[in-house]
A and B are shown apart, each in its own frame.
Chain A
Amino acid sequence: MSRQWSEHLLLWTLRGLAMVAGCIILLIGAFLAVESVPALREVGLGRFFSDTSWHPSGGVEAGSFNFAPMAAGTLAVTSGAVLLATPLGIGSALFCHFYAPRGLGVAFRRLVELLAGIPSVVYGIWGLVVLIPLIRQWQPPGQSLLAGILVLTIMILPTVALLTESSLRAVPRSYLQGAAALGLSRWATVWGVVLPAARSGIVTAVLLATGRAIGETMAVLMVMGNIVQVPTSVFDPVRALTANIALEMGYAMDAHRSALFVSGLMLLAMVVVLVAMSVWASERSRYA
């Protein structure tokens, strides 16, 4: 084998592998789209939001296909968790970097990394066995939007904390030295210098955590009670879009199955938008 030939072979093999890796996401999008077509064509996008209820097993004519309560469930649990996890995550990152004694900060970071590695099904069983009975004592039935928000908060907190922490670390040392030379207090340095400098990193962290919250399935499925309704209080049981797929894929047929793929496509679209926004945020900071 001549040398030039072997180098060509190598280059094209690598290009081929990279191409395949890059095309997986297109394949996923394509398959979700193809499986969604029957529902989109026969049921139509409008009915997913205007039908009276979610009873999809009746077929195209007799069934009803209203996603809105589940979309509301996903929206409610995601926004609740993100609202709680953002301050907690940023606080954790600040603790690591500015407020903890040196050794403790490193140990705390490890601890948050451990929290990030716990499988969602383990959070789910903890919520089911520990958290739900506690909420039930306070406000029955216990399986509720609140349980989902709390479990999801603990789950996405490490994402916010770890990504914020790494963007805090990327703040140039000279900024801190400048702040120290001006005699700024610790809080004035953090609020006036560090957080503005790390802003785009923090935005990226929150966006990625939001994506994680939207897509989370198992924990949400196990603690929220899975009743299809628009929640009126945090103690109401609700069903998220992801939980709906997990619950019904096992027996869904025809239009029903296709409708589930439509909801999968919706989830995928939301995540693509969030990832695009986070890429945009981090690129803007690089060229700023």
Chain B
Amino acid sequence: MLKLIGVRRGLPHEVGLGLLTLLLLALVTIAFPRFLVIDNLKSLVDDTALLIMLAVGEMFVLLTRGVDLSVAANAALTGMVVALFNAHYPGAGILPVLVIAIVMGAALGLFNGLLVWKVRIPSIVVTLGTLSVYRGCVYLVSGGAWVNSGQMSPFFLSFVRFPILGISVLSWIGLLVAVLAWLFLRYTVSGRNLYAAGNNPNAAGYAGIDVGRMQCLAFVLSGAIAGLAGYLWVARFAVAYTDVASGFELQVIAACVIGGVSITGGVGGVVGVVIGGLFLGIIKNALPVVGISPFFQMAVSGFVITVAVILNAGSYRKNHGRKILERAEASS
């Protein structure tokens, strides 16, 4: 269907996906007008902002032909650390919390990146390992205990909820991350080099781009965003525990794939990822409104993801880049 709407007429993937998302929104609203009330939309945007942020970070890594499975574990660990920091130093204010979240997330990302760049381990192996390690570290630093809203200071919790122009700070941060990522990819040399490194590593190497360094940069960016998202997640749900965002990395990758980011590297953009995230977010938030049992939600979103990747598969066939785990003729 995406092909019918978008690709065949020479329109970018984003347009087709955007129309499909609007169609989805319209269908849900026609059937259940109460879906489109302001409160519901606010919570939809808040939920989706976290998914979109993480997906934008994941996109950097996917663009360089890597994959980061550790984003959710990174967010859980960073979220737990800032929650503990807040519980011990309640008077420190919001700035140290944000700095710790971003720096620590970036450091965890850097660890992934260095293993990929310097030790030359495939990214899927590295992040499969750090996924378990980071998640286990959440348990180590917290001792298995929960940090509840009672232990968090008011500014820690209210910062993400503070409304500016009717929209929460959380959503503004999500928007800011997306805009900065768009500007970075479009107007900076490093951003263009990320595409080059993923699209054709050999050619990029001849053009003087250090492909490994670009991969490392992508992991650091993904980690920093995941760290920030970790604080926002913990503050939004007002609780930190070991299983925060468990398994969320797969939804993040799904949002990227639906948004047209090629798993083979070098193809994709922020706009597509944002729409992909909104698409998944609308489905997730519409199901309870439509009255589908919570136990059916996973099956429905799984079905939608599967159908979406089949529809998107057309772009993989045309794309002559390398498939993950599969080598094309030219790239060895």
A-B interaction: no
Question: A interface vs B, CB < 8 Å?
Answer: none
Question: B interface vs A, CB < 8 Å?
Answer: none
